[in-house]
């Protein structure tokens, strides 16, 4: 299912950016000016863009940022994550077969050394990047250290994504959306739920229901429809999760660990699990994988929860579960996040409907799949013509020809 949805998202990006380019880039935009003067605004590509995409959406994000850069009039050096070069290679081959010239779109596979060589080249006009906050900082420093024109950086990075649940929420709905948000795609989504804040009044019941729902998860071969959670990307990701789980075993309380089947196929499988911890500050950084952290809070401590989430500096996704409209608005207005979802899961933003991207440590904006994204890949030029003077010159020229 995840693979099918990713193909659909890649197609959505292609169609959306093509439509936006036709609307925004086809011809000049008239601008108001003084009488006797025509003014127009033209959008042009900046030059050569490097697109550096992640492994967790090896087709959709790779295609989306590359298509945006091309639609805005740039040439593209497309570097996929080192873990997923074959998907990117197929995507580029299909683009070439569709008519995009080979020298306008080039695949640049490789590891971080290749990315560093790209971002340090002074001929580069800009970089579109999706990945970790640490890598985004490194790219920003590399671009700033170059001689030559200042480059554009468009970055979508990580998040310490939270869901806040009050006592009015429907428990069954909360559990359903929590399991989807935390464990679908093995928790390897930028938008995935990391920290579940539950009002103390309902925490015992909700934790029990969460454990029961996790009991129903099947970990195994992602090619099987019966599988709910597949493997994590590689041995380094599994090692990181195991290290964090060992720490949580000492500093938190295990709510539930999904049992792996004895016949689980070969791969880097990590059992999804949920831990109760005493505070968000217990987490030093985003844990990218199927580990959920649950923090309980008192009914009178909602503002403390909001402040704690804002203090992380991240601002990507937020979930809110409440049947009190005023409280949902109160939380959404005070939390600095790019995408907030009320009484639903918090993954799976739809291109053109829910533009995706964060703020603070979670990204630069503008949002991917939104109406302002293409403009960041372009530069603006204005043309002003004195129509009065042009008309006078035309009349003189005509008179001279007659004589």
The CB density around residue 245, as the number of other CB atoms within 10 Å, is 19
What number of residues does the chain have?
Answer: 403
What are 300-308's contacts with CB under 8 Å, separation 24+?
302/164, 302/166, 302/327, 302/331, 305/164, 305/197, 306/331, 306/334, 306/335, 308/279, 308/280, 308/281
Mean pLDDT on 218-223: 90
- Catalytic residues, by residue number, are 156, 190
Find out whether the peptide bond into 36 is cis, omega within 30 degrees of 0.
no
| Digit-coded pLDDT (tens) for 143-176 | 999 998 899 999 999 999 999 999 999 999 999 9
The CB density around residue 363, as the number of other CB atoms within 10 Å, is 27
| Digit-coded pLDDT (tens) for 331-367 | 999 999 999 999 999 999 999 999 999 999 999 999 9
Q: How confident is the model at residue 282 (pLDDT cuts 50, 70, 90)?
A: very high
Which pLDDT score, from 0 to 100, does residue 360 have?
A: 97
| Digit-coded pLDDT (tens) for 262-273 | 777 778 999 999
pLDDT at 395 over 60: no
Which pLDDT score, from 0 to 100, does residue 391 have?
A: 55
pTM over 0.85: yes
Half-sphere exposure of 162 (CA within 13 A, CB side): 27
Half-sphere exposure of 320 (CA within 13 A, CB side): 23
Please report, in angstroms and rounded to a whole number, the separation of the first and last CA atoms in the chain. Answer: 78
Which pLDDT score, from 0 to 100, does residue 39 have?
A: 87
- Alpha-carbon distance 188 to 199, whole Å? 26
Token duo for residue 278: 């005493």
Q: Specify the 3-state DSSP secondary structure of 358.
A: coil
pLDDT at 112 over 80: yes
- Alpha-carbon distance 78 to 75, whole Å? 10
Q: Specify the 3-state DSSP secondary structure of 63.
A: helix
pLDDT at 390 over 90: no
């Amino acid at each position: 299912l995840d693979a099918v949805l990713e193909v659909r998202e890649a197609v959505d990006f292609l169609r959306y950016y093509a439509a936006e380019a036709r609307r925004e880039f086809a011809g000049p935009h008239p601008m108001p000016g003084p009488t006797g003067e025509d003014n127009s605004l033209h959008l042009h590509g900046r030059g050569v863009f490097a697109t550096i995409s992640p492994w967790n959406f090896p087709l959709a994000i790779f295609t989306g940022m590359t298509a945006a850069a091309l639609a805005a009039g740039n040439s593209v050096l497309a570097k996929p994550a080192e873990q997923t070069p074959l998907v990117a290679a197929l995507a580029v081959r299909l683009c070439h077969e569709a008519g995009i010239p080979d020298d306008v779109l080039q695949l640049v596979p490789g590891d971080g050394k290749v990315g560093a060589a790209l971002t340090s080249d002074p001929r580069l006009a800009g970089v579109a990047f999706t990945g970790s906050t640490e890598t985004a900082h490194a790219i920003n420093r590399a671009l700033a250290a170059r001689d030559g024109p200042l480059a554009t950086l468009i970055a979508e990075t990580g998040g310490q994504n939270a869901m806040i649940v009050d006592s009015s929420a429907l428990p069954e709905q909360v559990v359903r959306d929590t399991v989807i948000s935390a464990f679908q795609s093995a928790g390897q989504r930028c938008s995935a739920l990391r920290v579940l804040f539950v009002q103390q009044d309902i925490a015992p019941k909700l934790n029990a229901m969460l454990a029961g729902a996790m009991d129903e998860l099947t970990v195994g071969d992602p090619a099987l429809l019966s599988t709910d959670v597949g493997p994590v990307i590689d041995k380094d990701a599994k090692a990181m999760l195991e290290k964090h789980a060992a720490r949580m075993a000492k500093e938190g309380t295990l709510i539930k660990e999904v049992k792996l089947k004895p016949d689980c196929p070969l791969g880097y499988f990590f059992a999804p699990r949920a831990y109760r911890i005493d505070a968000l500050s217990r987490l030093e950084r985003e844990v990218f994988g199927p580990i959920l952290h649950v923090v309980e809070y008192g009914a009178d401590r909602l503002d403390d929860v909001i402040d704690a989430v804002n203090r992380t500096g991240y601002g990507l996704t937020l979930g809110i579960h409440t049947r009190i409209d005023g409280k949902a608005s109160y939380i959404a207005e005070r939390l600095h996040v790019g995408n907030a979802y009320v009484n639903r899961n918090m993954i799976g933003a739809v291109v053109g409907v829910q533009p995706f991207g964060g703020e603070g440590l979670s990204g630069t904006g503008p949002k991917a799949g939104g109406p302002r994204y293409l403009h960041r890949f372009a530069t603006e030029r204005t043309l002003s013509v004195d129509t009065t003077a042009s008309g006078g010159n035309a009349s003189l020229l005509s008179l001279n020809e007659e004589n």
